[in-house]
Amino acid sequence: MLPILGILIVFGAVVAGYVMEHGKLLVLAQPAELIIIFGAAAGTVVTANPLPTLIRLGKAMAAVLASSPYTKAFYTENIKMLYDLFSMARKAGTAKLEEDIDNPAKSDVLKKYPKFLKSHQALDFLCDTLRMAVSGVVDPMDIDTMMEVDLESHHREAHEPVAALSSMADSLPGLGIVAAVLGVVITMGALGGSKEEIGQKVAAALVGTFLGILLCYGVFGPIAAAIGKRNDDEGAYFGFLRMAALAFVKGLSPMMAVELSRRTIPHSLRPNFKEMEAVCRGGGAKAAGAPGATAKAA
């Protein structure tokens, strides 16, 4: 919701200042200029990017206008999910874990967390990693290298919509000039007309430049930056999963594995140790404050 609020503030401030100077709002209503600028900008994006990137761009723009899913409650739920999964693997053995990661939707543990099951990229990342671990023939450091390569590939793919939208934003001032030049051409053809008619055509031409600059720096540039920040949040989440999986692969206890992954969570979203222990073990928040609780948790 914040990006929408920000865009409203931008337009509100511009319109308010314009009206304060006794400007006429109807002069800014130039549909032909918008068609030229938006149509040409859309054409540059379509020309420069393949269809999968365009689809991801549309999804990314829709997602960034909604509230971020990466909250403290989100991470707390994922900590509980990882703890349950690792505890089940330790008690029931790798055969049961392999069965669960091969059919996540039927897993007694994972089916309790439908949000995670719907996150196909995160689900595949965790399950593919654990699948290599239960094979028993891959060194933990090699698994970590696999995860790093996977995350680098995911980061490159996630950055493509940002680059596409940034390129479009950069083109808008130039396309606004194109619209303005066309308006000047029309104005030159009307030089024999009345002063009012010529003035309206000049104003319409200048609105093209105005819109191109405003949409670049006031709308699409900030949206591209917001998508980039959302990608950073997603990257932090995958780093959280990576640390948990690596700790489990190295043979650490479930509590120690989720504790290491908890340390990767950004401070503003990170549950403290007592909150983590309480959600994992139930009633563990009091135990966490007792002497030796940290050692027992390990």
* Closest of 15, 25, 129 to residue 82, by C-alpha: 129
Strands of the chain (E only): list them. Answer: none
pLDDT at residue number 297: 39
Please state, in angstroms and rounded to a whole number, the distance separating the CA atoms of residues 71 and 258: 17
Instruction: Measure CA of the first residue to CA of the last residue in the chain; give whole Å.
Output: 40
Q: Which of 266, 230, 252, 265 is nearest to 79 (CA)?
A: 265
151 and 235 in contact (C-beta within 8 Å)? yes
19 vs 4: CA distance, rounded Å: 22
Q: How far apart are CA 178 and CA 181, in angstroms?
A: 5
Which token pair is 167? 């390129």
Q: What per-residue confidence (pLDDT) applies to 200?
A: 83
Q: Which residue has the tokens 């094979």?
A: 135
Nearest residue to 215 (alpha-carbon basis) of 34, 60, 57 = 34
pLDDT of residue 138: 80
Q: How many Å apart are CA 295 and CA 196, to the nearest integer? A: 83
* pLDDT of the residue at 147: 94
Instruction: Specify the DSSP element, H or E, that contains 115.
Output: helix 114-118
Tokens of 173: 């001032």
CA–CA gap between residue 276 and residue 256 (Å, rounded): 11
165, amino acid identity: L
Close Cβ partners of 288 (under 8 Å, ≥ 6 residues apart):
273, 274, 277, 278, 294, 297
| CB-facing half-sphere around the CA of 248: CA atoms within 13 A | 30
Confidence (pLDDT) at 292: 42
pLDDT value of residue 284: 39
Burial 63-81 (b: 16+ CB within 10 A, else e): ebeeebebeeebbbbbbbb
Q: Crossing angle, helix 221-249 and helix 72-92, to 10 degrees?
A: 20
Q: With DSSP H G I counted as helix, E B as strand and the rest as coil, what are the percentages for the chain, rounded to 5?
A: 80, 0, 20
- Give me the tens of pLDDT residue by residue for the chain, a chain 298 residues long: 788 899 999 999 999 998 998 888 888 888 889 999 999 999 999 999 999 999 999 999 999 888 889 999 999 999 999 999 999 998 988 888 889 999 998 998 999 999 999 999 999 999 999 988 887 778 889 999 999 999 999 999 999 999 999 999 999 999 999 999 998 888 888 777 787 788 888 888 899 999 999 999 999 999 999 999 999 999 999 999 999 999 999 989 999 999 999 999 999 999 999 999 999 987 433 333 333 443 343 3
Task: Specify the DSSP class assigned to residue 229.
Answer: H
